[in-house]
Chain A
Amino acid sequence: MRGEFQPDSELMKEYGLAPDDLLPASAEDKEATDQIRPSVSYWQDARKRFMRNKVGMAMLIVLAIIVLAAILGPMLSPYTYQSQSRDVRLGPSLSHPFGTDRLGRDTFTRVMFGTRVSLFVGVATSFSVLIIGLAYGGISAYVGGWADNIMMRFVDLMMTIPTVLIVIILSVATRDIFTSLLTNPRYAAIASMGSGLISILAVFSMFNWIGMARTVRGALLMNRSQEYVMASEAFGAKAGWIITKHLLPNSIGIIIISATGIIPGAIAMESFLSFIGLGVAAPVPSLGSLAADALNGIISYPLNIIVSSGLISMLMLSFNVIGDSLRDALDPRLRK
């Protein structure tokens, strides 16, 4: 590299500097001027940004409490969601924190079980949509050309279908199919959650993957045209390398964000279906059917509807806020 720096003697004279005024920098001096900020990876950075978002963190805690209660509540409670008693429409007490309903069933147990149902529908829908969307969008983006064209036109076609109407029709129509499938004892665990739940899950996935497929395709195509992919090709990289090392890591943020965004929508849809009596079949409680039950005594005994609709709201609010702060954390460019 370069030799020892020699100060220009004429220049030094001009500025009135003696030869001893300028000294070469020692190794320590050089080190001190180096930047000291520690290197941070994308995920560390994202976590820091997420933690800094107070509303997001508060909602994460709220959600954690709800999830814990939904898992542990029915397990620890001495009642089951269908055990009835003579103590009908009790107010809150130590043995019944949210009181009892008109059949003397413990509201706390029922509401927490309903929360389980809601959480399951939200998370499972989001997960299956993620799988379908990744596969469909990935193939569409990777194959390209006429295949991409046909696949995307099919997506456009799916978007024109009035979702709510079809979901109502299909979730009722497919329930019998799933009921007969679930008589197999091997699926007893799933069957205990109710066959309506499975048909809801299937129908929701059928209509929600569209947006996910588009998101995945868009993200992959955007990264595909970056020069680092071209550089990777120049080194002789195969498709598998490019997808796993470059395309997926660079698209994962936006994919996670849209997967999180699906959860509150699915929860709302399931509650709505159960509210109008088309969702999870009785006696399995759902937040929607609990709210519908509570409508009968809304004036004289409002606690039931407050608890069930309040939980629906809190679930949706927390998932929405967490989704937003995830977006801010994972993709700072999208921030407004």
Chain B
Amino acid sequence: MSALVEVSELRTWFDARQGGKRCVVKAVDGVSFAIHRGETLGLVGESGCGKSTAGRTLMRFHNPNGGRILFDGNDITSGDIKPYRSRMQMVFQDPYSSLDPRLAIRDIVAEPLNIQQPKLPAAERDAVVVENMRLVGMNSEALSRFPHEFSGGQRQRISIARALTTNADFLILDEPVSALDVSIQAQIINMLMDIQERSGITYLFIAHDLSVVRHISQRVLVMYLGRGMESAGTDELYAHPLHPYTQALLSAVPTPDPKISRKKQRIVLEGDVPSPINPPSGCVFRTRCRYAESRCADSVPEMRDAGGGHFVACHRYE
């Protein structure tokens, strides 16, 4: 397995104003990961930790302020992104604002083709559209309808069908199921896994729901305040979380069985997430970490291999 996407020390900063003073929001500040062909990397973290920004920077909706993005061996950190537009695609979180209300489903799903290959004969284009609608489990009778006639889950299927139209080999799924109810979430996730099994597509799955991520991902990267905290194979990470933040996150996952959940020890984090405008020195998590020591304030912990491909950025494992 070779890496399809390699990201090293990615930084995305935004200019902002706070009380009239200019400042910099370090939304993503030094994140590294690699995604192998045909696998799913789960990117988890609280709201505002920079996971969506990281995904959008990969799509080059934002220009990175530092670091490097390699896609299939090509540096796409800067320069023309156009040649790669057909190979990487994104599915958005909100199925209500990601489909143009004035376009019929046929035109929505065909839009990437209409943009990228405007000379394609209509019959071939329709064939692709129908095939993709079938892939996501939608009837081709839906093609002449409009987005408002569909439910959130159906809209998300249409959105996925559109992303597949380009024959992308890399799909960034930005919280694709968090706006849907649980039974629909399962349908969409299983459908995504089906598609992956059949076509070998690579996913970056961004979510804050740990159980969903566990179901779909082979590996998981945990982010906090714009930095990577821990990354490991899914089973390893859920069984042996090393970073104190990951431990706290996992202890917060609700368990359907009350007998188990009563026994479970819940780690409650004190305080709020610090502002990304003025992050703590050293380890960004130290203000809420129960193991914090003096060295945590002095130096930034590096991502280190704690054995067996389990990476963690914490001074306790050095």
A179 within 8 A of B: no
Query: Which residues of chain A come closer than 8 Å to B146, judged between CB atoms?
Result: 39-42
A sample of 11 cross-chain residue pairs with beta-carbon separation below 8 angstroms, ordered by A number, consists of A37-B149, A39-B144, A39-B145, A226-B100, A228-B100, A234-B61, A235-B111, A245-B103, A245-B111, A249-B102, A250-B100
B112 to A, closest residue via Cβ: A235
Bound complex: CA A189 to CA B86 (Å): 56
A223 to B, closest residue via Cβ: B100
Binds A, one of B87-95, B120-128, B220-228, B281-289: B87-95
A236 touches B115 (CB 8 A): yes
The residue that A42 contacts in the complex, of B85, B90, B98, B102, with Cβ under 8 A, is B102
The residue that B86 contacts in the complex, of A41, A42, A236, A245, with Cβ under 8 A, is A236
Chain A residues close to B by CB (< 8 Å): 1, 34, 37, 39-42, 226-228, 230-237, 241, 245-246, 249-250
Bound complex: CA A231 to CA B141 (Å): 24
Query: Which residues of chain A come closer than 8 Å to B274, judged between CB atoms?
Result: none
The residue that B116 contacts in the complex, of A42, A235, A249, with Cβ under 8 A, is A235
Given A1-B137, A41-B146, A232 contacting B94 (CB threshold 8 A) = no
Highest count of chain B CB atoms <10 Å: which of A34, A236, A245, A246: A236
Given A41-B104, A236-B116, A250-B100, A231 contacting B145 (CB threshold 8 A) = no
Query: Which residues of chain B come closer than 8 Å to A249, judged between CB atoms?
Result: 100, 102-103
B200 within 8 A of A: no
Query: Which residues of chain A come closer than 8 Å to B111, judged between CB atoms?
Result: 231-232, 235, 237, 245
Bound complex: CA A232 to CA B110 (Å): 11
B166 touches A235 (CB 8 A): yes
B243 within 8 A of A: no
The residue that B98 contacts in the complex, of A40, A41, A228, A245, with Cβ under 8 A, is A228
Bound complex: CA A39 to CA B145 (Å): 5
Query: Which residues of chain A come closer than 8 Å to B265, judged between CB atoms?
Result: none
B262 within 8 A of A: no
A227 touches B82 (CB 8 A): no
Q: How far is the CB of B138 from chain A (nearest CB, A)?
A: 12
B157 within 8 A of A: no
Query: Which residues of chain A come closer than 8 Å to B141, judged between CB atoms?
Result: 34
Query: Which residues from 273 to 314 on chain B have a C-beta closer than 8 Å to any C-beta of chain A?
Result: none
Query: Which residues of chain A come closer than 8 Å to B102, judged between CB atoms?
Result: 42, 246, 249-250
A234 touches B85 (CB 8 A): yes
A232 touches B98 (CB 8 A): no
B11 within 8 A of A: no
Bound complex: CA A226 to CA B115 (Å): 19
Q: How far is the CB of A241 from chain B (nearest CB, A)?
A: 6
Query: Which residues of chain B come closer than 8 Å to A34, judged between CB atoms?
Result: 141
B162 touches A231 (CB 8 A): yes
B61 touches A227 (CB 8 A): no
Bound complex: CA A39 to CA B150 (Å): 11
The residue that A227 contacts in the complex, of B94, B103, B112, B144, with Cβ under 8 A, is B94
A228 to B, closest residue via Cβ: B100
8 closest Cβ pairs, A-B complex = A236-B85, A227-B98, A235-B112, A39-B145, A228-B100, A249-B102, A227-B92, A227-B97
Bound complex: CA A226 to CA B89 (Å): 17
Given contacts A39-B149, A227-B97, A231-B111, 5 further A-B contacts (CB under 8 A): A226-B98, A226-B100, A228-B97, A235-B116, A245-B100
Query: Which residues of chain A come closer than 8 Å to B104, judged between CB atoms?
Result: 39, 41
Q: How far is the CB of A276 from chain B (nearest CB, A)?
A: 46
Q: How far is the CB of A29 from chain B (nearest CB, A)?
A: 16
Bound complex: CA A257 to CA B243 (Å): 58
The residue that B61 contacts in the complex, of A39, A41, A233, A236, with Cβ under 8 A, is A233
Bound complex: CA A89 to CA B92 (Å): 74
Query: Which residues of chain B come closer than 8 Å to A233, judged between CB atoms?
Result: 61
Bound complex: CA A233 to CA B59 (Å): 10
A246 touches B115 (CB 8 A): no
The residue that B92 contacts in the complex, of A40, A42, A231, with Cβ under 8 A, is A231
Query: Which residues of chain B come closer than 8 Å to A237, judged between CB atoms?
Result: 111, 115
